[in-house]
Structure 1
Amino acid sequence: MAPTPTAKGTVPFREYRTWYRVTGQPGSGRPALVVVHGGPGSTHDYLIRLADFAEHGWPVVHYDQLGNGGSTHLPDADPGFWTPQLFRDELDNLLHRLGIADDYILFGQSWGGMLAAWHASTRPAGLRGLVVANAPASYPLWLSEMDVLRAQLPPGVDDTLRRHEAAGTTDSDEYLEAMLVFYSRHVCRLDPWPGELMASYLEAVTDPTVYRTMNGPNEFHVIGSLRDWGVIDHLPRIDVPTLVLSGRHDEATPVTVRPYQDLIPNARWEIFEDSSHAPHLEEPERFTEVLGTFLDTVGAPGARTTTVSGG
């Protein structure tokens, strides 16, 4: 079998550059699968396995959002520069620059799921389907559920976390050690973490500008500009088939995910019983099956008539 073609480069976005990678050949008969990573302030690396879908005829587009990875870094930008609208505009720009805006499917993970849902709510003509993976519908919901998950940590862990949060010492080794207890339960339950997940984590640590400005020091202490933001009001306007994914042990708990199921008219929800925030890494075979079935349903009409079962 011939190797799947891969193209990498950057496209202009305002006076900046957005890095992208295309695996497969757009325009070859199936919609492009556009992968929107989380964070905000992470990179595409931890989602690179989705490129495997190119072997089944789906052109797969990864990109690094502005401020991280291969895209333009802006460590001195005013905090007000980093907004959800900036990243929605960047996604819109990428779709048009790559010439795929008339035929694509969006896969958004975590923050990227919120961004993808917001984009979908504008009803772009070329969008064929939407996948919202491990994404809360709002940060107020997320924060309320973080308190629930933190209360379930081993004795003393949350006390340590809160002591450092109150003191502003979230960079301390003791805080980091306690933080990793939460991460090993609710971010990725594999030990050790896969290399691609570590790659994204280290990229965010190397330049934490976006993550710290919009989110905060970690996943469960959201004190950045996103703390009051959400997409709940936009969900009823989404008019494409939507697959919602989450893990049984996910930091995106059912309470935070349920609005997608309840408010998007044509949404199905699949829960991965042995996963937390990264089912594509934690249960890769089942993930491939579930996503592949959905892609066949929305991207190749008539190829399959089965639909993904609800969670």
Structure 2
Amino acid sequence: MNQTAVRAIPEPSRTGTVPFRGHGTWFRVTGDPDALRPDAPRAPLVVLHGGPGVAHDYTLAMTALAGDGRAVVHYDQLGCGLSTHLPDADPASWTVELFIEELRAVVDHLGIGDRFHLLGQSWGGMLASEVLLADPHGVASLSICDSPASMALWLEAAATLRAELPEEVQAALLRHEEAGTTDSPEYAAAMQVFYDRHVCRVVPNPPEVLASFAQLEADPTVYHTMNGPSEFHVVGTLKDWTVVDRLPGITAPTLVVSGAHDEAMPIVWQPFVDRIPGARSHVFAQSSHMPHVEEPEWFTAVVGAFLREHD
């Protein structure tokens, strides 16, 4: 495991709320606000966080990508973080289409809808691929970080890694899943063993990562509805999701990254590389599911070079 390093997260140059379907989507901009102008030398980067329903905080190390003069936009997807929470919403309302529409509302509000880079981490990469397939307008490049091309592949990888956990940890996970007691502290402790191996190997986790996990615990509405109670007990509305057969329809320059110890094993992201024309990949040797946290300097170098190539 890696040790926690103290990292300074820069203050935003702008924050605000985008009106969306009668609610509010919160955003922050890092970097010079003028970098949002259509004629800025560097196209702005929009970051899609994971979950679904895990607030943006854990991706804040990506603000380092503003170091070359570009604006970096983070926002909390509806239902989490500083955006409107809807714990009593109809479960059927949480759809991929909702979040595609929200992304477009954010970029249009900021005036960057005609030119921006799109980066998605975990669920955010799944969403980013759907954005490109729905309407590629304005997307200068696509970065898919630690994401599966289908939930079936994700579950296959999760089962492989779960079988490598200590027997007592496996037994605790199974016992609570069968009993429907996945809110038990024992289940959470067993999950933490998996997280320390395959989600974030910087232990203890940095404050921004802990903030996202705390937010998820406080309001798991979106995550439980679309995913389920844990990374490998996927019983939500995304359980049959796949983009594999549609990937040739993505034509934007694409970079796919992951960690060598990632819960997103190569089988889950290889279809992006194989099926998106010209896509390329990079694996971070010391990372699991959060290379931007676990190897931040190297992540910034690799992704930053790709973005500059396609400004």
Distance (whole Å) between structure 2 residues aligned to residue 180 and residue 152 of structure 1? 14
Post-superposition shift, 1:171? Answer: 1.2
Distance (whole Å) between structure 1 residues aligned to residue 12 and residue 67 of structure 2? 10
2:304 counterpart residue number: 292
Q: Secondary structure at the match of 2:201?
A: coil
Which residue identity does 1:20 align to in structure 2?
A: F
Please state if 1:166 is matched with 2:178.
yes
Which residue identity does 2:146 align to in structure 1?
A: N
Q: Secondary structure at the match of 1:156?
A: helix
Post-superposition shift, 1:117? Answer: 1.1
Contact 2:146/2:289 (8 A) holds in 1: yes
| 1:227 corresponds to which of 234, 239, 245 | 239
Q: Structure 1: any 5+ residue segments left out of the alignment?
A: 300-311
2:52 counterpart residue number: 40
- TM-score norm. by structure 1 comes to 0.93
Identity of aligned residues (%): 55
Distance (whole Å) between structure 2 residues aligned to residue 126 and residue 112 of structure 1? 18
Please state if 1:7 is matched with 2:19.
no
| 1:154 corresponds to which of 166, 169, 175 | 166
Distance (whole Å) between structure 1 residues aligned to residue 134 and residue 19 of structure 2? 23
Post-superposition shift, 1:50? Answer: 1.5
| 2:286 corresponds to which of 274, 277, 290 | 274
Contact 2:64/2:300 (8 A) holds in 1: no
Post-superposition shift, 1:53? Answer: 2.0
1:118 counterpart residue number: 130
Contact 1:37/1:110 (8 A) holds in 2: yes
Contact 1:123/1:237 (8 A) holds in 2: no
1:302 counterpart residue number: none
Post-superposition shift, 1:156? Answer: 2.2
Distance (whole Å) between structure 1 residues aligned to residue 88 and residue 96 of structure 2? 18
Q: Secondary structure at the match of 2:129?
A: helix
Post-superposition shift, 1:145? Answer: 1.6
Contact 2:153/2:267 (8 A) holds in 1: yes
Please state if 1:17 is matched with 2:24.
yes
Distance (whole Å) between structure 1 residues aligned to residue 189 and residue 57 of structure 2? 24
Post-superposition shift, 1:5? Answer: 6.4
Q: Secondary structure at the match of 1:271?
A: strand
Q: Structure 2: any 5+ residue segments left out of the alignment?
A: 1-9
Post-superposition shift, 1:170? Answer: 0.8
Post-superposition shift, 1:83? Answer: 0.9
- TM-score norm. by structure 2 comes to 0.93
| 1:217 corresponds to which of 229, 248, 251 | 229
* Stretch moving more, 223-232 or 255-264: 223-232
Post-superposition shift, 1:106? Answer: 0.3
Alignment of 1:92-131 (within 5 A): 92-131=104-143
Distance (whole Å) between structure 2 residues aligned to residue 286 and residue 87 of structure 1? 30
C-alpha offsets along residues 221-244 of structure 1, whole Å, 9 cap, x if unaligned? 111111111222331111111010
Distance (whole Å) between structure 1 residues aligned to residue 135 and residue 246 of structure 2? 11
Task: Please identify runs of 4+ aligned residues in structure 1 that moved more than 4 A.
Answer: none
2:72 counterpart residue number: 60
Contact 1:118/1:235 (8 A) holds in 2: no
1:304 counterpart residue number: none
| 1:185 corresponds to which of 193, 197, 206 | 197
Distance (whole Å) between structure 2 residues aligned to residue 37 and residue 78 of structure 1? 22
1:307 counterpart residue number: none
Post-superposition shift, 1:180? Answer: 0.7
Distance (whole Å) between structure 2 residues aligned to residue 29 and residue 5 of structure 1? 20
1:308 counterpart residue number: none
Distance (whole Å) between structure 2 residues aligned to residue 287 and residue 196 of structure 1? 17
Residues 15, 149 of structure 1: alpha-carbon distance in 2 compared, 3 angstrom cutoff: same
Post-superposition shift, 1:79? Answer: 0.8
C-alpha offsets along residues 229-264 of structure 1, whole Å, 9 cap, x if unaligned? 122233111111101000111011111110000000
Contact 1:4/1:55 (8 A) holds in 2: no
Aligned residue pairs total: 297
| 1:260 corresponds to which of 246, 250, 272 | 272
2:3 counterpart residue number: none
Distance (whole Å) between structure 1 residues aligned to residue 94 and residue 134 of structure 2? 21
Post-superposition shift, 1:123? Answer: 4.6
Distance (whole Å) between structure 2 residues aligned to residue 291 and residue 195 of structure 1? 23
Residues 203, 179 of structure 1: alpha-carbon distance in 2 compared, 3 angstrom cutoff: same
Post-superposition shift, 1:122? Answer: 3.3
